């Protein structure tokens, strides 16, 4: 197996090259040119394993030039000791068929930890194989959760520097504090005046600028990415869908006889893409349900076949999904266009130039077979949190609530009530103010006051990493313009 670029499939790379480089020189994203297929026997075997074993079993196929020892070391380093009870992806069952896959029991209380605890290990091994001796510079654009999870994963990793850009008014106070208080000698954090798309576009531009690349090379450095454009972010996410399937298998043959659905609260399309890859390697997924907030560019795309980012951008209470350009959709398009790189180039060029593109009838039909899409606004999100808590005593965050709301829409519209996995992407305590307002009339004007009230009102425990933030010291408060990002990078690296 090799990795190929979505914009030029003659470009080939090993896993280590794909991970070390992050993005292909042509601006395309790396994807595997073939996939393993797991059968019943495989899944039976995988079911017997703990999370570390499951991760090793699945990842072996995608890390084609890693040795077994390297995979073992990476996976153990990532998943032992950093998640509550060493269970990175437990399921809470609500009612009969809603399996809430809680992906937020890691160090930063969001699902990004599942990938970003592992990525630094993968990247270190990859960089060593590909270009020993060079320092790796991780550039991150974040809508809130990636930044913190990447900082936490990469802090004090030898031979790396990490620089994170976040939209100054586009993240929650808790997310902001998490990043600005980050410890570590190799970490840099900078707010930008703009939204997430501005941050992401800026980072992509820096990445693919050959003069910048040369300047780094002259200083014995090279860029890589911790955003979900990096294959090393996606592969670990496939694992938890396989793991969820294995956990559900324990409930008997009958439970999953018609397969199951997966609902994912979606922003950059990384998490739902991983769910698609899980289906592709043999997990019996029926339908992938794409849930969006008021920034519903994906809902419209999946329903109509036209992707159009020329629309109002909303700042919502589920900020990690406030995105109008979903980078990983490019991988899905490549897949559903039958690996037609020319078509992908055309669509991406049209997106860059006019902010939109339309897929043909055939591709649209393939999307229809696989996906269903829905969206909800902030008030429906809050109602969903309140309703779930009243009815089931289950407390979820704003992103998960968007997924739960769309799941309900799906069942009502289609009548399909088969078992469903709902990706729960963040702890409710990361968005304490909004969540509290959904379950109580009480409120504090202080972020940690809201955290305490939420705990009191719902009798749930404050996650330790959130509690620890209250006394954390702010280390970073830089803010720069959209066109000052490059100089911020040079300054952080000391190569002005």
Ligand X SMILES: *Cc1c(COP(=O)(O)O)cnc(C)c1O
Tell me which residues touch ligand X (CB under 6 A).
110, 112, 145, 228, 265-271, 320-321, 399, 425-426
Task: State which residue, 66 or 196, has the beta carbon closest to ligand X.
Answer: 196
> What's the closest the beta carbon of residue 264 comes to ligand X, in angstroms?
7
Task: State which residue, 102 or 341, has the beta carbon closest to ligand X.
Answer: 102
> What's the closest the beta carbon of residue 396 comes to ligand X, in angstroms?
11
**Residue 125, CA distances (Å) to 150, 224, 225, 341 in order:** 17, 13, 15, 29
- Quick check: helix, strand or coil at residue 358? strand
What beta strand segments (E) does 233-358 contain?
Answer: 260-265, 285-292, 306-308, 356-358
As to burial, measured by CB atoms within 10 angstroms (0-12 exposed, 13-18 middle, 19+ buried), residue 353 is exposed
What tokens appear for 285 in the block? 């997924």
Longest dimension (CA), the chain: 63
What tokens appear for 140 in the block? 């991150």
- Distance from the Cα of residue 160 to its chain's centroid: 21
Task: State which residue, 402 or 453, has the beta carbon closest to ligand X.
Answer: 402
- Cα radius of gyration rounded to whole Å, the chain: 21
What tokens appear for 227 in the block? 């955003």
The candidate with the shortest Cα–Cα distance to 473, out of 180, 189, 144, 176, is 180
List Cβ neighbours of 405 (8 Å cut-off, separation of 6 or more): 291, 374, 376, 380, 381, 383, 384
8 Å CB contact between 115 and 234: yes
What tokens appear for 154 in the block? 């990469």
Active-site residue identified among 12, 76, 87, 112: 112
Is residue 112 annotated as a catalytic residue, yes or no? yes
> What's the closest the beta carbon of residue 274 comes to ligand X, in angstroms?
8
Task: State which residue, 268 or 381, has the beta carbon closest to ligand X.
Answer: 268
List Cβ neighbours of 492 (8 Å cut-off, separation of 6 or more): 161, 163, 188, 190
Task: State which residue, 222 or 296, has the beta carbon closest to ligand X.
Answer: 296
> What's the closest the beta carbon of residue 122 comes to ligand X, in angstroms?
18
Spatial separation of the C-alpha atoms in residues 272 and 293, rounded to whole Å: 15
> What's the closest the beta carbon of residue 430 comes to ligand X, in angstroms?
7
Task: DSSP for 21-49, please give it.
Answer: HSS-TTS--EEESS-----HHHHHHHHTS
Instruction: Categorise residue 109: left if φ over 0, alpha if ψ from -120 to 50, beta otherwise.
Output: left
Residue with tokens 């407390």, as numbered in its chain: 395
> What's the closest the beta carbon of residue 384 comes to ligand X, in angstroms?
15
Task: State which residue, 316 or 450, has the beta carbon closest to ligand X.
Answer: 316
What tokens appear for 229 in the block? 């454009």
Spatial separation of the C-alpha atoms in residues 107 and 148, rounded to whole Å: 9
> What's the closest the beta carbon of residue 102 comes to ligand X, in angstroms?
12
Task: State which residue, 57 or 196, has the beta carbon closest to ligand X.
Answer: 196
The candidate with the shortest Cα–Cα distance to 273, out of 309, 244, 234, 236, is 234
Half-sphere exposure of 425 (CA within 13 A, CB side): 27
Residue with tokens 């959904």, as numbered in its chain: 438
Task: State which residue, 113 or 341, has the beta carbon closest to ligand X.
Answer: 113
> What's the closest the beta carbon of residue 426 comes to ligand X, in angstroms?
4
Task: State which residue, 286 or 326, has the beta carbon closest to ligand X.
Answer: 326
> What's the closest the beta carbon of residue 298 comes to ligand X, in angstroms?
9
Catalytic positions, written as ranges: 112
């Amino acid at each position: 197996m090799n990795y190929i670029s979505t914009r030029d499939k003659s470009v080939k790379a090993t896993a280590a090259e794909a991970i070390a480089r992050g993005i292909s020189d042509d601006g395309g994203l790396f994807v595997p040119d073939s996939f393993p297929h797991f059968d019943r026997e495989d899944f039976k075997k995988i079911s017997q394993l703990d999370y570390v074993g499951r991760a090793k079993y699945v990842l072996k196929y995608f890390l084609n030039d890693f040795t077994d020892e390297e995979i073992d070391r990476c996976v153990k380093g990532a998943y032992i000791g950093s998640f509550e009870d060493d269970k990175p992806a437990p399921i809470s069952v609500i009612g009969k068929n809603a399996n809430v896959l809680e992906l937020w029991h890691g160090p930063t209380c969001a699902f990004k930890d599942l990938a970003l605890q592992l990525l630094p290990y993968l990247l270190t091994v990859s960089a060593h194989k590909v270009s020993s001796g060079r320092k790796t510079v991780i550039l991150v654009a974040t809508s809130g959760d990636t930044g913190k999870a990447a900082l936490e994963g990469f802090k004090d990793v030898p031979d790396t520097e990490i620089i994170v850009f976040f939209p100054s008014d586009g993240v929650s106070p808790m997310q902001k504090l998490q990043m600005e208080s980050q410890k570590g000698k190799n970490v840099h954090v900078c707010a930008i005046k703009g939204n997430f798309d501005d941050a992401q576009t800026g980072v992509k531009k820096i990445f693919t600028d050959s003069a910048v690349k040369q300047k780094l090379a002259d200083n014995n450095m090279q860029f890589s990415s911790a955003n979900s454009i990096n294959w090393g972010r996606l592969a670990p996410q496939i694992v938890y869908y396989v793991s969820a399937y294995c956990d559900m298998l324990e409930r008997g043959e009958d439970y999953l006889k018609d397969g199951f659905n997966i609902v994912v609260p979606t922003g950059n399309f990384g998490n739902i893409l991983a769910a698609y890859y899980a289906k592709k390697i043999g997990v019996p997924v029926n339908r992938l349900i794409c849930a969006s907030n008021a920034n519903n560019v994906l809902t419209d795309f999946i329903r109509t076949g036209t992707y159009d980012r020329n629309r109002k951008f909303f700042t919502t209470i589920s900020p990690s999904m406030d995105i109008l350009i979903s980078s990983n959709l490019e991988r899905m398009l490549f897949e559903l266009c039958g690996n037609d790189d020319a078509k992908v180039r055309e669509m991406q060029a049209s997106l860059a130039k006019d902010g939109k593109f339309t897929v043909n009838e055939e591709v649209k039909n393939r999307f229809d077979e696989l996906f269903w899409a829905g969206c909800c606004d902030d008030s429906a999100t809050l109602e969903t949190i309140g309703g779930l808590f009243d009815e089931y005593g289950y407390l979820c965050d704003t992103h998960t609530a968007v997924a739960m709301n769309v799941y309900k829409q799906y069942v009502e519209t289609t009548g399909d009530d088969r078992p469903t996995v709902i990706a729960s992407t963040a702890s409710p305590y990361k968005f304490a103010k909004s969540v509290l307002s959904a379950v109580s009339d009480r409120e504090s004007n202080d972020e940690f006051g809201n955290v305490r009230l939420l705990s009191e009102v719902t009798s749930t425990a404050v996650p330790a990493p959130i509690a620890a933030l209250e006394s954390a010291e702010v280390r970073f408060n830089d803010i720069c313009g959209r066109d000052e990002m490059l100089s911020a990078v040079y300054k952080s690296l000391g190569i002005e």
